[in-house]
Structure 1
Amino acid sequence: MTETGRSVLDEAWGRIPQSRETQVDQGSFTQTRIERVIHLIAGCGSLVLGAQAFTAALGSSGEAAGWHVPLTAAIFVPLAAMIVACLVGRLTRVFAGIFAVVFVVTLCAWPVATAAGPTPAPTEDPWIFYLVNVATVASIVAFPLVLQIVWTVATPILYGVVRLLQVQADGAFVATIALDVSFALILGSVLLTLGWMYRSIASNVDQARAAAVASYASAAATAATENERVAVAALMHDSVLGALLAAERASTPRERTLAVSMAREALTRLANAEKDPLEGSDEPVPASRLADEIESAADEMGVQVRVSRQLEEGTPRVPGRVARALVLAALQAVANAVQHADAQGLAVQLTGSASPGGVAVRVRDSGAGFDVSAIAPDRLGIRGSIHARLAAVGGHSEIESHSGGTTVTLEWESGDRW
């Protein structure tokens, strides 16, 4: 994305009220808030059910001697930590996951803990039943979707199994236990579905927002580029007109030198202005990408050419603007070879060196050659599209031509400044 696109994105996000969540992850604006809402609801619901279970546990006598205090401590300490984490918004997944696992472990120990206890009444639910769906909620907060489904289904069923083991499969308890398990499964499924639905909606909203912002940024970048092109066109008109007037009126060596400088400046600005917003950013790219882009662009021109690559290990990455200048200049050299040498012996080579760091592109053909010094001043294919373009980004270009062919060398060193 261009610098203009980035500034537009920054401005768009700047118009959204900022908080800790948006500063951490602007790409998941809605998801972050939905997660926070889910955690708050989970904390409040767990607080209510936890208080109900704790009240029932205080008056419980169903456990054997020595089991009551360890069981209640094992359940309610991690439950309290999870509730606090949900309400505060810190380490929520960690403590919710701990409670979900501890509850299952405690549930597995329940038959052993109640084996020597008094026989419960068929209509009386143990205090641990009130926390079955709290464990489901904890899994929704802490685990990925697959484990959420496992916990939602397995926890109520496990409760039914351990409850039957506690009462030794007494037929008087079967109907009550089946009703409890069914209720826990239905409620857990509803909670799981709601959590999945709201998270999916939030994810889709964030994707739509990101796409809209990216589209707006692209449109804004295109508009800015068009405005810039208009400004550059006016600037070039003034620069070229000024250079022509200076050349016409030049009567001394000093005035001729000034006219040449003005013309060179106009060509440099023209080379710098030739930048498509869709070409990408100015971030450095691997040197091998130059070869890929030359091959791709040549194919689009109808020229089948394969670039030979000789890149040393440690070849520096090439700034985006320099890479584009090298590719465009190489394509101009290829076009010249096709036009004037009928692409005889056309070959393109990319070399890269680690010390001194730099890259070079060489375009060769075996045509009849030409006299470089005899090129007419009004022919900008070489002066503007090759020499001026490379000079504008701190590169160097050289053309050697004789009766055996022509070689165009385009070089850039990492120590150059552009």
Structure 2
Amino acid sequence: MTDPFDLPDLPLPDSVRDSARQRILSGIAQRPRASKAPLLIAASVVVLAASATVVASTLQHADKLSPGAASTTTTSSWARGGAGANSYNAHEGWAAALDSERCGRAATSVHPPRDQWQPIVTSSLDGVTLIAFRGPTGPFFCELTASSVSLSTPVADYPHEGVGQVLFRTANGSLAGVLTPGVRDVSLIREHSGGFSEAVPGLVAASLFLAPNAMSGGDLVLKDTVSGLTQRFREAELPPKAQATVDQPKPPGERTSDSGRRLGSCLDAASLHPPADAGNWQPGALIDTMPGHTIQLGRYGSVLGVCDSHSSPLFYTLDTTERVPVASTVFRGYNLMVDIKPDRDPKLNVSALVGVVNDEAVASITLSQQGQPDRQAVISNRTFAVWGLITAQDARYQVTAKDAAGKVLDQVWAGGR
């Protein structure tokens, strides 16, 4: 008898595989902490019909909020909001004062006076902040990056049928809109040829949904994940991408060096989920890993970008304001696993340690591991990367930062059980 579970291995399309990998990698770095105790997300293995994969192992915690003038209510956890609440650092009834001011400066005559803006929820992902407001003429949305702001027009009348309506989208892939009363949890789905699709969760608050930096271009399916009801929008039926106003100009990214060109090419290829303000990213450390394989880092504000040359290439982001596996007073690091094979001796699996340097005095970073030679990290533009970390489950390692005179600035242990 034929085994019903003996199914043929079907390769995923490149775009779907890379998108899935990117979502897994960035998503791991965004999960908030459920309690006050640090939560270690163990390094895991993702097999997506590719000969190599990269996984980030991170420590996460809930954001600390500063008071916002728009509201006295702040939350660092989200009791409602569906699956998206765990993805977007959601804060109900609150908007940061500076964010509210920037959104307010983009307002026109169609918007209500600022004192009538009621913040519904603030969400963020990978350097993109998306805020929902409500005024006397209906809900509206504001997207902010480090350099730009986009503001939608309030919408008072919209159809109350199906799952909901998309009212706002941006070049950074943010999507937002209204939901039919009773819809409590939604996902946003983009379908690809060959029957494959990718989905991201929507954050639900007060019958509105938000998905910052979600997906760019193509038809969209809005799905009620409770009832299973779906609603399809052809791209032509979606609102045009909102015009962004550059209100805080940043210097253009360097693209003349080898690292700059590599980073630029990688950013240009990241069409599925374009990084915010791609033209402003600065190149960082570049290292060789496996033969013909490189990792190129980039940095933009608090966001670290990783360009994996093995496939497409793949670009994904890690928020360095979150807690990380290698947390030091002068640097913050992530363990990036490359070419992990489950059936191989764990001691033969190696990875890269990458991160950001937060102290200009750091001149060297050394990776030390028992039975292995010390390895020096490449440091460039306040980022660092080093290849050769043994990733066996019980393997511990030490990372040492020194200044130009050889003085130890900090030394931390990580890894192991």
Q: Same fold (TM over 0.5)?
A: no
Higher-Rg member (1/2): 1
Considering fraction of residues, name the structure with more strand: 2
Interval containing the TM-score (normalised by the shorter chain): under 0.3
Which TM-score applies when normalising by structure 2?
Answer: 0.21
More helix by share: 1
